[in-house]
Amino acid sequence: MGCSGFVYSLCIAKSLIETNVAKCVLISTSDTYSKLIEIKNENVSSIFGDAAASCIVEKNDIKTSIGLFDLGSDGEGFRDLIVHNRSLKKDFNEENSLCMNGPAMFSFAIREVPKTITNTLKKNNLKKKDIDYFILHQANLYMLNSIREKLNIDKEKMLNFIDYGNTTSSTIPIVLYEGIKSKKIKSGNKVLICGFGLGASWSSTIIKVSQKLINNINKVID
């Protein structure tokens, strides 16, 4: 699911645990878009970065820590971010590198992201004022600011960390990690996370940060 992948994976993990198929689920996101990018194409080469992130979801966490989800896709936008015939061609060239229709992807995000965030709040019986932080897929700063302004979200509540660029499915866990590392995100905080992009697709939910999560990340930092 590309940029929506982490939240979709979180939904699958929660479902597996709630139906007693699993007690503990490892989620790992890893994308190397550098393999798909023609360096001369500055529309994409200046945006994307490679990264990986992992987390573990356990049975004791899901009832209090992970809320209801809002998921969706619109197949009409599949050509707006695509690699043509990549699996069929051995030689890498401009014709089979990553192609992105930037204006179309921007229009999609401005149209659908506010909807999924609003739907997620309604499903969880919460309002914007109840959310401590919003973490959106780190597509690019201009897009994130445009979405924030459309939703009228306080700048301080929108966490961004774009040092690594657009790392597709890893952007949300990276920002969550950095938010806890910097001590902005604290135990008990409600964080709305939202992925969007490839497909075109979108995915949102709300997580309540536990002290256990804080402690585990602090162990990694130490």
Q: Which residues are catalytic?
A: 3, 137, 166
Q: Residues 50, 105, 81, 165: what is their CA dihedral angle, to the nearest 10 degrees?
A: -10
Interatomic CA distance for residues 100 and 55, integer angstroms: 29
Return the SS3 of 185: coil
Pair 4, 116: CB distance under 8 Å? no
What is the gyration radius of the CA atoms in the chain, in angstroms?
A: 17
Residues 6+ apart with CB under 8 A from 126: 190, 206
Q: What are phi and psi of 29, to 5 degrees?
A: -110, 135
50 CB contacts (<8 Å, ≥6 apart)?
A: 31, 32, 33, 34, 167
